[in-house]
Amino acid sequence: MRRGIAVSPGVAIGTAYVIHEIFVNPDTKRLEDSEITAELANYETARDKAGAGLRALERKVEAQVGHDEAAIFAVHQSILRDAAFTNKVRNWIVDERMTSAAALHRLLGEYTTIFAKTRDEYLQERLNDVRDVIIRISSHLSKVLDPNANAIEGPMIVVADELLPSQAVALGEIDVKGIVTQKGSQTSHAAIVARSRGIPAVSGLNGIVRKVKTGDTIIVDGRNGHVEINPNSETIKAYRKLEREFFDLKDQLATNRDLQALTTDHVELRLQANINGTNDAVAAVAMGASGVGLYRTEYLYLTHSDVPDENEQYKTYVKIVAASPNHNVTIRTLDIGGDKTVAYLGHDHTEANPFMGWRSIRLSFEHPEFFNTQIRAIVRAASEFKKGTVRLMFPMVTTVEEIRKLRSMVRRAYKTLNAQGIQTKEVPIGMMLEVPAAAVSISNMIDLVDFVSIGSNDLVQYLMAADRDNPKVAHLCQPLAPPVLIVLKNVIETCNTANVPITVCGEMAGKPRAFVLLLGMGLRRFSMSPAFVPSIKQLASQISVEEAEQILTSVMKFKTTAQVKKFMTRTIEQIAPNLKMLSME
């Protein structure tokens, strides 16, 4: 039994499917003499397609973003044309009878070993360029995630170093019962995808891809972060019972889909969903969400083969709004940076602390035409719908000056579209509050926005000065920490006094212990992973606002996070003991 970080609750038992960093189980078989010519042709075809894609991408990025940003793809093309690069792959296919995928995998290993010997940041960055080129070629050889590989029998448990956005999207097409990753935290790509689909998941299991092989039986306990590899029959029997209880509870909670979210004293709440794409929007409807409180548009960029232009974005946003509950959607502009990067925006930029650096609207301001393209696409999509409300939200707002600049850019988008004969309608403009400076000065900003959404994931790590993805300090990133609760209470009360709609759309909105405290603070709008909507709706039906306020009063007297967690765990067990299966440590 191994223990990692619990990132998505529930229990699942299935057959392991190991995804290596780039290749899905690279084929180690030796080619027959008759297969070599065909394999060489496969490699050349994949290489030609990769080259054509890079040339097209360079032209597109230069037109939409700028010459300097497009230069990285010229570098990638030079790597692709490099004689040593190509000759090694060809020689291994011919001399050692390796498949193209296996040869590329070996080539990456060689480059990694060579570059590991240098501390020069520039040379280390070149390894990332080589890696990107190899990934691009390999994507033309086979799918990143092939559900038919190795003929997996029964429920599948995906095991990976970490889930890239492209792999996360591919998971939506196959039946995955559990996810286990070496890297990641409760706010990683894997965690977000797992929770949005209600899949039990555990992250932070160092070395797991070496310990597990495809075909092993594996148990994932997403409540406490436990993973069992090839367990004995007694262990399997015990977890089968827990797995049935987990699915029975989910089925039971699904029956409240069409019910209003009401407290016992009949206070109406808005329980909305955080989504990454159309599949999540459909799930939000199935789970009974009243709308989408956060659509993360960066996943469109992260999974796109090149730069999505205005029409591509417009069509995607229309599709998302059409699929979302009641056509109520809050669309957040591009939140790239930190742990999410694209090659044409900041890929070649090394920062000591990227989470507090050149990211989100700071990066968008530096590429105004690129940013304006997204704003126009969102405004166009919003204007398509007579029913429902589409709102425009900007991430990582820090100062009053930024809000004024953003509003000016939106006005310019209206003028441009109207000059083109495209009719538009007014779109509510809001800010994502995740920077402590904005939380402290919210009273100065509130008159400039139509709504506020608290991004608790980033707000917590910034308040506690602790990188949530750094295992050495992750224990400090606690949404139930007294300093966090003090800040949240002040922001919520300020917004309510000014009659400005406020939502919490970070992960804490879907956690029972935090939900009760937020309810006591006066919050009435919550946005969470779609799978959490039924359980939070159930919890709301078992508590009154007055009770939540009394619980908050008690909690605000505590001085340590441990005291808050212990008290709230006991409180939730008393209010809704049936939801224990869906809680996480």
Please give the positions annotated as active site: 189, 505
| Beta carbons of 40 and 93 less than 8 angstroms apart | yes
- Please state the three-class secondary structure of 233-280 as a single string: HHHHHHHHHHHHHHHHHHHHHHCCCCCCCECCCCCECEEEEEECCHHH
Whether residue 323 contacts residue 275, with contact meaning beta carbons closer than 8 Å, is answered with no
Distance, CA of 382 to CA of 376 (rounded, Å): 10
Q: Reduce the secondary structure of 121-190 to three states and give it as a string.
A: HHHHHHHHHHHHHHHHHHHHHCCCCCCCHHHCCCCEEEEECCCCHHHHHHHCCCCEEEEEECCCCCCCHH
- Determine the residue type at 405: K
Closest CA to 126 of 139, 108, 144: 108
Report which DSSP code applies to 540: H
How does DSSP assign 500-539, residue by residue?
A: --EEE-SGGGGSHHHHHHHHHHT--EEEE-GGGHHHHHHH
Q: Where are the beta strands (DSSP E) in 122-194?
A: 156-160, 176-181
b (16+ CB within 10 A) / e for 416-447: ebeeeeeebeebebbbbbbbbebbeebeebbe
Query: Cβ distance 386 to 426 under 8 Å?
Result: no
For the record, the structure tokens of 421 come out as 């004969």
| Pick from 255, 258, 257: nearest CA to 287 | 257
* Cα 219 to Cα 211: distance, rounded to the nearest angstrom: 14
Contacts for 421 with CB less than 8 Å, ≥ 6 apart:
none
- What's the CA gap between 375 and 161, in Å, rounded? 35
Helix (H) or strand (E) segment spanning residue 390: strand 390-394
Q: Which two tokens stand for residue 347?
A: 């890929």
CB-count exposure of residue 28 (10 Å: 0-12, 13-18, 19+): exposed
C-alpha–C-alpha distance, residues 197 and 195, integer Å: 5
What are the φ/ψ torsions at residue 357 (nearest 5 degrees)?
-120, -130
What's the maximum distance between 2 C-alpha atoms anywhere in the chain?
Answer: 78
